[in-house]
Structure 1
Amino acid sequence: MAAVEEAQFWQAIGILIKNYHALNKKIFEVVITQVEKQQDGLLRGSSEEELVKSLKEELSNRTCTGFKIRFKLLPKKLQDNILGTGIVDFVECKYECQFASDDIEDFSVQLSKGQLLLQAKQNQNWLEFVLKPKLLSWSQSKQNESKVKSLGLLNLEKYNDLYKKLKQKHSHRLLEYWKTAQESTDPLKFIYEDLAIAAYLIVLWSQTQSEPKAFADLGCGNGLLVHVLNDEGYKGYGYDIRKRKLWSLYPEDTKQNLIEKAVEPNSFRLDFPDIDWLIGNHSDELSPWLPVLSARLNTNYFLLPCCPFELSGAKFRRRNTKISAYQDFFQYVTQVSKECGFEVLQDRLKIPSTKRLALLGIKRNTSKSITSVEYFVQEELRKYRTGESEVKLREKGESVRNCTQVDKTIIDGLVLKIFNQILASSEDKWAGRLSMREIAQSLSKEELSGIKSECGGIKTLLRNKHEVFEFCGGDLIGIKTPKPSTHLPSRLTTKKRNCFFKQHHPLGCPLLDVDCSFIH
């Protein structure tokens, strides 16, 4: 294993301080409440910004010998938050973490002669298979200063408390709806994702004093978000081109608010005059139109873009190939929002989706005339039209486009091939790394063609196989070290598939059968 340099060590610790929740799935988020610096043998008041700056500085430039950090862990299920203390010791090159709870074990990490020394009283498996791999990954990662912070616009404690409340109140009943409707989609993903989005919107509205008189969810799909918000006392409606099976199972108050109607951008009008918020929750072809419609209808908007499309309804044409297709599209929709006169806010949601960046238009510059907005739209349609004379969005019949529709033998073959390539890249059978470019270049056109047309390429495949691969910063892909399951046994989520590592890794799975989420 390569030696870890001191700068890399403190980079990893800086990430660990704010991201303990990445090591313990029972924790939602970390909130730093106080920072003090150790200077001349005394503790003096400091700030999170000074802590971050000192962790990046050379030893000779530091003005203190360490920091004492007080923080709260926000649990996903427990009622009370967990208090903790972190001690940064620059002299000993050490970080200690202590918790005021028996549910979480204290630990320490020290750099000695280029190696990480980790200590805890009991949980050695956690140190070896969870903490150490994460620290090594973080020490090598390229830090993206421009990355949007998760839930950066919200009070995290309020959000976490509300999300827990919504899960407790709604999840069981919504699961029953799913069973009754015999929906083929994954209930856990959709239910918890839409509960998280509902919690986000409710807290956002309360914090920004922008609670809607009424909202309209355009392309509402199964109507779940509309139902939850309605049930929480928010008036609103859902529009979609076709009715879903779940609609008939909702209470009457929700059913009457779900409208089977195509949203045609150039002819769409609101059926209810009090609507002052538009919602686009993974609204596909409608995504670039949300800011335009909001400008035309004089509303605010919340948009969670997903699959990239032009205003014409055609597949999005790349503007900037130096970044990912998703980032490129997100930047484009941001540009559309600004052209429509909005002061655009961005945030990153915590949801079970790879497409979690959100755009919000809460304040619009009224000096930006609708005439100029329409001129921009027509210019975009002229430049990127695909031969159709009118804007053409989706048909009433819907096709599914993701890696679940690709022949399973193709997927399994590609996964195993990429896995073996990463495995061979390092003598340490868990530390291999390959860049996305190296992986893509190693695959033939025939191997890629099976997924290219359905889900956009190899990156989506790797993300969908998150139990096997992990993204290690930059464009590096590694093998994910199996972690003990922290969830209670559930017939919906565990022990459904064979353990990939038990079958294919030369060292097998490092977990005992009882600790692994998959079948041994």
Structure 2
Amino acid sequence: MDSPKAVSFWQAINILVDKPHVINKRLWGSNLLSKHICQDVNDRYNHDIAISDLYLKNENEVLSFMQDFFLKTSLKPLDEKNTVEGQNNFVEIILLELLPKNYTDSHGFQLVCLEKDKATATFYDVTPKEYNQSLCPNFTYSFQLINEDILIIGCNDENSKSQKWLRFNVLPQIIRWMDQDLVTNNNKSGTIKDSLALVPNDKYYTRYNSLKLKYGKAMVKIWPESTDPTKFVFEDVAIATYLLLLWENTNANSSNKPVRFVDIGCGNGLLVYILTKEGHKGLGVDVRKRNIWNMYDPEIKLEEKTVTPENIHDFTEFDWIIGNHSDELTPWIPVMALRCSYNCNFFLLPCCAYNFDGTKYQRQNSSKSQYNEYLDYILKLCEDCGFNTEIDRLKIPSTKRICLIGRTRKYDNDQYETYNKKVLEIIINNGKEFQNTNNGNNFKARNPIEKVKNCTQIEKSVIKTVVDKITNFLLDGCNFEDKWNPGKELPIGDLVDQIPGDILKALKAECGGLQTLLKNNHHIFKVQKGKVQLRHPKTVEDIMKSMKIHKNKSSSIRVQIKPCWFYNNHPQGCPLTDSSCSYLHAIS
């Protein structure tokens, strides 16, 4: 039996082999081309000599490559039935295609040899030399467990970048993986280890980059929303890629007709746009219209509409219901799919945690994070609705990446009406929000007019009152005879007492309270680590340098337009000259 240390070593090596992109930032991921359990006929062989002239040009040559490999090494591939559990004298051979993060770069090919009896994992670069691949070290190297130590064996120049990367990045990471608890917790949602488990990884890689070039870059350039296009555009491209492959896989044995889908809470509508352009028929609905909707073609169907439990029958014509960050409608997505028809499926990407009535979900178990607990809650709900629920992890720029998919039922079609009648009971038992059978009449939908809550809607007279009281308190008792004095630096808590109760209440209603208001007036106040002090005014030169660092065009910078607050309000005026201050020295 392997020692605990050996078990941890192989678990860490498996992570390195299965997910090389975790430690190698040049990789998007990898594609498993071949895997064999082998027996060494001659008991010993020299890896370096045996495969020194073996190279793989593309994934179409895998069969001939492996045949040559077995001939040169005298390794004999075995069926799983020929292996005996507990024996370690077998050699596992894995052939990987390394997929570059930069889609236009050459792919790499790596052969991995795992020798259990020697506790050694050896990595060979089998990419043709003319490819000039830079995705992995181009020399042979091994990680070996000797007693309690991990050693790197068979490397080249000690000062090469690849050698330093192996020593200072990969090796420490293997040790960390060994030291940490590699056993997943008992949460059902925590059992998801791999990304994109339900779609072909290689097809996803190709399709994602194709859609990224086709839609992503152009959309980033014209993005009219205030949100970050580099995040939201490519995230929707990734989700669209996943759904397209999922639907192809689901319809593999059918007529492959276009999928009819509805995206509940579609937001910017980009997901609807891409899926429609790729040949499917869909509708996006959201409580609030976005600016970008006007830029789409007329064929893109987007509707400003408040979705409630009462009108979910409006969507019975669709095959799939999509809940992509659907917020307060998240628990309703599987219910909607159930009640629409027996053949209706759903894709759900939970983010913010909500109950059935639109209130925020409160964590019940302190041993779990709110996100994991909410995932378990939604998963149980999906199963209660009669779905064989599948779970997967997406590759998107978000910490909330777990999706739930319902595309098959636990029951036959003739039991559909029975399950449909159970919906109300499911809601009552899971949500405990409804005291009568009202189909969710207590549900609170989001207001179509999104209220701005950043203290920018406070009356100017109130803002002036707060600013005057805070500055007077910071400057009280300070010496103004010598150099310019920015006043005292005080905790925010000490300043709260200076604000009348009714004004404080109004600030808190606008999210963030006093601190948000002070940060909004950053030209006056410096707020750091919970403390507040008057800011030293910035010069024109300071502004120019800051803009150059952030790569903004200096020609677009506007200085000396707004009046200088210090010039008009500080007891010593502004410490800068009229020409050097970035604000205008004029009596306001």
Does TM-score exceed 0.5, indicating one fold? yes
Cα separation, 2, equivalents of 1:327 and 1:318: 10
Deviations 1:306-326 (A, max 9, x none): 111111111113344432211
Deviations 1:198-235 (A, max 9, x none): 01001111111176541100000111111111121111
- The one of 89, 105, 115 aligned to 1:89: 115
Cα separation, 1, equivalents of 2:276 and 2:216: 15
Residue 517 (structure 1) aligns with: none
Cα separation, 1, equivalents of 2:81 and 2:277: 41
What pairs with 1:354-503 in structure 2 (closer than 5 Å)? 354-364=399-409, 365=411, 366=413, 367=415, 368-383=418-433, 390-398=442-450
Residue 245 (structure 2) aligns with: 203
| Shift, 1:73, TM fit | 2.1
The 1:221/1:293 distance shift into structure 2, 3 A limit, reads same
- The one of 229, 233, 237 aligned to 1:191: 233
Residue 303 (structure 1) aligns with: 348
Cα separation, 2, equivalents of 1:277 and 1:188: 27
| Shift, 1:282, TM fit | 1.0
What pairs with 1:337-348 in structure 2 (closer than 5 Å)? 337-348=382-393
- For the 8 Å contact 1:35–1:70, the answer to whether it is kept is no
- For the 8 Å contact 2:12–2:177, the answer to whether it is kept is yes
Residue 150 (structure 2) aligns with: 116
Residue 22 (structure 1) aligns with: 22
Residue 279 (structure 1) aligns with: 322
Cα separation, 2, equivalents of 1:234 and 1:91: 53
Cα separation, 1, equivalents of 2:384 and 2:367: 23
- For the 8 Å contact 2:88–2:117, the answer to whether it is kept is no
The 1:240/1:246 distance shift into structure 2, 3 A limit, reads same
| Shift, 1:96, TM fit | 1.4
Code of the residue aligned with 1:372 in structure 2: it is K
| Shift, 1:25, TM fit | 2.6
- For the 8 Å contact 1:215–1:276, the answer to whether it is kept is yes
Cα separation, 1, equivalents of 2:242 and 2:81: 26
- For the 8 Å contact 1:302–1:360, the answer to whether it is kept is yes
Residue 6 (structure 1) aligns with: 6
Percent sequence identity over aligned pairs: 34
Aligned residues: 393
- Secondary structure of the 2:314 match is coil
Residue 290 (structure 1) aligns with: 333
Deviations 1:148-176 (A, max 9, x none): 13111111111111111111111211111
Residue 140 (structure 1) aligns with: 179
- For the 8 Å contact 1:34–1:47, the answer to whether it is kept is no
Kindly indicate whether residue 167 of structure 2 is the aligned counterpart of residue 128 of structure 1.
yes
Kindly indicate whether residue 205 of structure 2 is the aligned counterpart of residue 160 of structure 1.
yes
- The one of 307, 312, 318 aligned to 2:357: 312
Residue 268 (structure 1) aligns with: 312
Cα separation, 2, equivalents of 1:48 and 1:78: 38
Residue 515 (structure 1) aligns with: none
Residue 509 (structure 1) aligns with: none
Q: Which moved more, 1:77-86 or 1:194-203?
A: 77-86
- Secondary structure of the 2:447 match is coil
- Secondary structure of the 1:353 match is coil
- For the 8 Å contact 1:230–1:236, the answer to whether it is kept is yes
Code of the residue aligned with 1:394 in structure 2: it is R
- For the 8 Å contact 2:391–2:404, the answer to whether it is kept is yes
Residue 458 (structure 1) aligns with: none
Query: Which stretches in structure 2 are left out of the alignment for 5+ residues?
Result: 44-73, 185-189, 455-492, 495-509, 513-548, 552-588
- For the 8 Å contact 1:213–1:274, the answer to whether it is kept is no
- For the 8 Å contact 1:198–1:228, the answer to whether it is kept is yes
TM-score by length of 2: 0.61
Higher relative contact order (CA 8 A, sep 6+): 1
- For the 8 Å contact 1:308–1:315, the answer to whether it is kept is yes
- Secondary structure of the 1:270 match is helix
- Secondary structure of the 1:259 match is strand
Kindly indicate whether residue 126 of structure 2 is the aligned counterpart of residue 75 of structure 1.
no
| Shift, 1:184, TM fit | 2.7
Cα separation, 2, equivalents of 1:268 and 1:27: 43
| Shift, 1:393, TM fit | 2.7
The 1:7/1:274 distance shift into structure 2, 3 A limit, reads closer
Residue 38 (structure 1) aligns with: 39
Cα separation, 2, equivalents of 1:218 and 1:177: 24
- For the 8 Å contact 2:115–2:121, the answer to whether it is kept is yes
Kindly indicate whether residue 370 of structure 2 is the aligned counterpart of residue 325 of structure 1.
yes
The 1:379/1:20 distance shift into structure 2, 3 A limit, reads closer
- For the 8 Å contact 1:177–1:246, the answer to whether it is kept is no
The 1:342/1:93 distance shift into structure 2, 3 A limit, reads closer
- For the 8 Å contact 1:39–1:63, the answer to whether it is kept is no
Cα separation, 2, equivalents of 1:305 and 1:44: 48
What pairs with 1:42-61 in structure 2 (closer than 5 Å)? 43-46=75-78, 61=86
| Shift, 1:79, TM fit | 7.0
Residue 499 (structure 2) aligns with: none
Code of the residue aligned with 2:218 in structure 1: it is R
- Secondary structure of the 2:398 match is coil
Kindly indicate whether residue 292 of structure 2 is the aligned counterpart of residue 246 of structure 1.
yes
| Shift, 1:63, TM fit | 3.6
The 1:316/1:167 distance shift into structure 2, 3 A limit, reads same
Code of the residue aligned with 2:100 in structure 1: it is P
| Shift, 1:336, TM fit | 1.3
- For the 8 Å contact 2:268–2:292, the answer to whether it is kept is yes
Cα separation, 2, equivalents of 1:264 and 1:158: 37
| Shift, 1:338, TM fit | 1.6
| Shift, 1:389, TM fit | 6.8
| Shift, 1:345, TM fit | 1.2
- For the 8 Å contact 2:428–2:434, the answer to whether it is kept is no
The 1:399/1:303 distance shift into structure 2, 3 A limit, reads farther
Residue 174 (structure 1) aligns with: 219
Residue 228 (structure 1) aligns with: 274
Code of the residue aligned with 1:136 in structure 2: it is I
| Shift, 1:261, TM fit | 0.6
Cα separation, 2, equivalents of 1:50 and 1:293: 50
- For the 8 Å contact 1:36–1:43, the answer to whether it is kept is no
- For the 8 Å contact 1:280–1:287, the answer to whether it is kept is yes
Query: Which stretches in structure 1 are left out of the alignment for 5+ residues?
Result: 55-60, 403-444, 447-452, 456-494, 498-520
- For the 8 Å contact 2:313–2:339, the answer to whether it is kept is no
- For the 8 Å contact 1:212–1:276, the answer to whether it is kept is no
- Secondary structure of the 2:395 match is coil
Cα separation, 1, equivalents of 2:202 and 2:419: 39
Code of the residue aligned with 1:98 in structure 2: it is Y
